[in-house]
Amino acid sequence: MSERATAPPMFNVQIDGVWRQFPKGTRVIEACEQAGSYVPHYCYHKKLSSPGNCRMCLIEMGMPKLGPDRKPELGADGKPVINWMLRPQISCAQDIAEGMGVRTNSPLAKECQRGVMEFLLINHPLDCPICDQAGECLLQEFSVEYGTAESRFLENKVKKPKNVVLGPRVTLDDERCILCSRCIRFCQEIAKDDVLGFVDRGSHTVLTAHPGKRLENNYSLNTVDICPVGALTSSDFRFKMRVWFLKETKSICTSCATGCNTLIGTREDIIYRQTPRQNDAVNSCWMCDYGRLHFSYLESEKRLLEPRISSGEKLAAVNWKTAITQAALQLRQFSGWEIAVVASGRMTNEELWLTAQIARLLGVQFIDIVPRTGPSDDILLSADRNPNSNGARLLLQLASEPGAKLPALAEAAKSGQVKALVALGENPLAFGISTEQLAQLPAFIVMDILSNVATEHATVLLPASGFAEKRGSMINGKGRLQRLNRAVRPPGTARDDWEILRDLLQALGGGNAIYSIEDVFRQMSDAVPQFAGLSLSKIGDPGAHVMQLEESPPTEKPSDEAKIEEGASAQSQRRNEKST
């Protein structure tokens, strides 16, 4: 940390004939990329250590020519004269040095790229038509850019295992593997679950799991993301849809309080996959499998498709206006202390803000969210499984911890003090209210996305939208404000939650001048000091830090660089042990 506080020394490096300055410790490949000279690579990944085994990033390199006084000789332009090395060098596993020269486009570098490309393609099957990676495959891309059109390979390709089930979520095709070892290093360095490795020699080398072990850690699907070819495939996404059809919407994962940044891949209102989006302040380049695969419930058979109100024994479908009017009518019958509002830590800030407005208008005392916890790990997964607990604390102005009022609420429902219950995205059966009590409530207004035992007893049922179907913002566990975006449309006549709450608020006599979600945020930013000066668009894709939390200060966890250094030092140690 102290090193980072003082600016690192800058080195002069000549890249493709132009002298530039880079901080000490920059890898050559990164310096080249910053200088606008892209160097193709497979095994190098910016968040992992560099083993230098794919050889794709070969470049021509030179060091300053030293005079008899061990000082660089200067040329006519006052810059050091560079002695070019005769052999090509890999650019991923070296740091820059003062006076270094790099040529990424020289005949030697180009010849190396073409040669390495040809070697990589020798045993690679030509099954792009059935390969899930096609369209986002580095082998395809570099083959076009740096390879040759035809193969000179006349011999038979090596046969390797196909369709290997590495774990519950990952399927491996060994023939497609180009042995870059990114997945192995990910498991060692990030997931800390060292189960993958290479066995056998030469062109028969295959990637495999350690005997008796499976790739089943909660981060296994990240290996599929970083696999530059189609060797590791997601069993969930396998053969479902070609990637070029997917519309990728920037959003966040709502399965825990970490709020990993994601891209939701959709086509024609169907979600096919979620992939992590790089945000070094939140999730680096990764996300957990639990959050990644947690979206199929949006396409569940149980989705609520139309607003309903109870008439006699069953729930009758009505239009939105009737449902909202009915809900407002039912709520107006009771005074504030007879009404309870159970909001959800899965609601967006905008929805929570409108909920708070409704509660204030009605004078509601009982207002809380339902806590949701699970085991955490020290990588990304948070113990708080509500994505917006901090938003609820802030906007509902919860004095106590989330869920503290729930036992009292259940007690009040039992004693009959609470006569109207508003459940927003939560099931009251989860916190001690029985179905009989629900059935006896004169007013039980439910806004949810899935039907369950509780929704059958609703007096007004309002179908809402899932996380991928709406816009809004949430505050993650570290106090970072981030945006959700709409990737698909909600099914049936289900509406955005904020619209439902706005209509309810207006039917109760409040909520003027809210026509869009931007208006909600504007009102919120006027009233809440943490959001002052912000708007939905100003939050931006990487999010904005809005809350200083004492228990979890906004300092970053051990950064990836630190992890890499750790991994690299361990590696060099191993190497030294071997050599001695």
CB of 78 to another protein, least distance (A): 55
SS3 236: coil
- Read off the tokens for 211: 């005997």
CB of 248 to another protein, least distance (A): 16
- Considering only residues 144, 245, 397, 549, which one is a binding residue for another protein as defined by CB under 8 A? 245
- Considering only residues 10, 35, 134, 408, which one is a binding residue for another protein as defined by CB under 8 A? 134
CB of 242 to another protein, least distance (A): 5
- Considering only residues 24, 71, 192, 238, which one is a binding residue for another protein as defined by CB under 8 A? 238
Q: Which is nearer to another protein, 5 or 149 (CB)?
A: 149
CB of 486 to another protein, least distance (A): 23
Candidate segments 122-130, 194-202, 399-407, 420-428, binder of another protein by CB under 8 A: 122-130
Tell which positions 32-61 bind another protein, by CB under 8 A: none
Q: Which is nearer to another protein, 74 or 122 (CB)?
A: 122
- Considering only residues 130, 199, 453, 527, which one is a binding residue for another protein as defined by CB under 8 A? 130
Candidate segments 119-127, 320-328, 352-360, 491-499, binder of another protein by CB under 8 A: 119-127
| Residues with Cβ within 8 Å of residue 206, at least 6 apart in sequence | 160, 161, 174, 177, 198, 199, 200
Binding mask of the shown chain, residues 326 to 355, with x at each position contacting another protein by CB under 8 A: ------------------------------
Amino acid type, 106: S
The answer to whether residues 251 and 262 touch, using CB atoms and an 8 Å cutoff, is yes
* Of residues 544, 540, 402, the one with CA closest to residue 478: 544
CB of 174 to another protein, least distance (A): 12
Q: 55 — phi, psi (to 5°)?
A: 65, 15
- Considering only residues 213, 240, 294, 545, which one is a binding residue for another protein as defined by CB under 8 A? 240
For residue 191, the Cα-to-chain-centroid distance in whole angstroms is 15
Candidate segments 25-33, 129-137, 403-411, 545-553, binder of another protein by CB under 8 A: 129-137
CA distance 412 to 107: 81
CB of 185 to another protein, least distance (A): 28
Burial of 518 (0-12, 13-18, 19+ CB in 10 A): middle
Q: Which is nearer to another protein, 134 or 528 (CB)?
A: 134
SS3 12: strand
3-state secondary structure 504-532: HHHHCCCCCCCCCHHHHHHHHHHHCHHHC
For residue 535, the Cα-to-chain-centroid distance in whole angstroms is 22
E-strand spans in 304-414? 308-311, 314-317, 339-343, 366-369
Tell which positions 361-380 bind another protein, by CB under 8 A: none
Tell which positions 139-198 bind another protein, by CB under 8 A: 159, 162-163
Q: Which is nearer to another protein, 176 or 483 (CB)?
A: 176
CA distance 348 to 474: 5
- Considering only residues 5, 152, 244, 576, which one is a binding residue for another protein as defined by CB under 8 A? 244
**Binders of another protein: how many residues, by CB under 8 A?**
17
CB of 503 to another protein, least distance (A): 37
| Helical residues (DSSP H) of 14-166, grouped into ranges | 28-34, 107-122, 138-146
Q: How far apart are the first and last CA of the chain?
A: 33
Q: Which is nearer to another protein, 159 or 302 (CB)?
A: 159
CB of 243 to another protein, least distance (A): 10
CA distance 257 to 474: 9
For residue 101, the Cα-to-chain-centroid distance in whole angstroms is 38
CA distance 289 to 376: 13
- Considering only residues 79, 242, 294, 360, which one is a binding residue for another protein as defined by CB under 8 A? 242
Q: Does 128 bind another protein (CB under 8 A)?
A: yes
- Considering only residues 78, 129, 211, 375, which one is a binding residue for another protein as defined by CB under 8 A? 129
Residue-level length of the chain = 580
Q: How far is CA 130 from CA 225, 237, 240, 242, in A?
A: 18, 13, 11, 9
Candidate segments 93-101, 237-245, 343-351, 501-509, binder of another protein by CB under 8 A: 237-245
- Read off the tokens for 168: 């519950």
CB of 130 to another protein, least distance (A): 4
Candidate segments 125-133, 365-373, 379-387, 423-431, binder of another protein by CB under 8 A: 125-133
The answer to whether residues 43 and 53 touch, using CB atoms and an 8 Å cutoff, is yes
CB of 239 to another protein, least distance (A): 5
Candidate segments 4-12, 236-244, 366-374, 563-571, binder of another protein by CB under 8 A: 236-244
Q: Binding residues for another protein, per CB under 8 A?
A: 125-130, 134, 159, 162-163, 238-242, 244-245
